[in-house]
Amino acid sequence: MVRKTGMLQGLLVGFLLLGVSVSAFAFGTGKFKEEVSREQEAVKLTREVQQGGYGLVTTDELKGMIDAGKDVLIIDTMPLADSYNKNHIPGAKQFLFPIPDMKEWDARETDGKSVDDFKALLGPDLNRTIVVYCGFVKCTRSHNGAVWAKKLGYTNVFRHPGGIFAWKGAGHPVDSVR
């Protein structure tokens, strides 16, 4: 009788552990799905960078450039009133770019500004370091800005993919237009 009770308890404990293991595995699939999403974002970003021919800079690297006093032109590609005026990386200049790929220049997508306006912002030094950013990794406004800087012959063009969200998330100061 004691042996049967012990066996029965052992089976119950075994089933309980199996149930917990299966539940943990089943509920853990959310982590796996998150990884698929991260992978898709990483591959998309990598392909944009390859296609655009520009480099990437992290939030910490950009902060280091600024702190070191490096001559870097930082361009915020977000809308002026809805984003830039509210908060932007200190010293950044604003120039709107659209989210969809902008293969041909379309002034309707850039607040009426021309390619010559963008070239004037970038300046005459084709070797100047240029960092372009938008809101966050999935936002592709910065991709368009970096691609157009490269098309115009600038050689040291970087995209800050984390954008203003990563900048603020790192606790770095922002400027605003009041």
Q: What is the pLDDT of residue 20?
A: 43
Indicate the number of domains in the chain.
2
For residue 23, pLDDT beyond 80: no
7 or 55, higher pLDDT? 55
- Identify the sign of the CA torsion 97, 99, 102, 106: negative
Same domain for 111 and 86: yes
Q: What is the pLDDT of residue 142?
A: 97
The confidence band for 127, taking pLDDT boundaries of 50, 70 and 90, is very high
Same domain for 74 and 142: yes
For residue 97, pLDDT beyond 70: yes
Residue 54 Cα to chain centre, angstroms: 14
| C-beta neighbour count of 72 within 10 angstroms | 17
Least confident of 28-42, 109-123, 154-168: 28-42
Q: Domain limits at 22?
A: 2-43
Instruction: Evaluate whether residue 49 is within a structural domain.
Output: no
Q: Please report, as a single letter, which amino acid is at residue 132.
A: V
Q: What is the pLDDT of residue 93?
A: 97
Q: Please report, as a single letter, which amino acid is at residue 124.
A: P
Same domain for 94 and 24: no
For residue 14, pLDDT beyond 70: no
Q: What is the pLDDT of residue 28?
A: 58
Burial letters 94-131, b for 16+ CB under 10 A, else e: bbbbeeeebeeeeeebbeebeeeebeeebeeeeebbbb
Instruction: Give the residue from 7, 130, 112 showing the smallest Cα distance to 71.
Output: 130
37 or 121, higher pLDDT? 121
Burial of 140 (0-12, 13-18, 19+ CB in 10 A): buried
161: tokens are 């993919």
Same domain for 88 and 10: no
Q: What is the pLDDT of residue 29?
A: 67
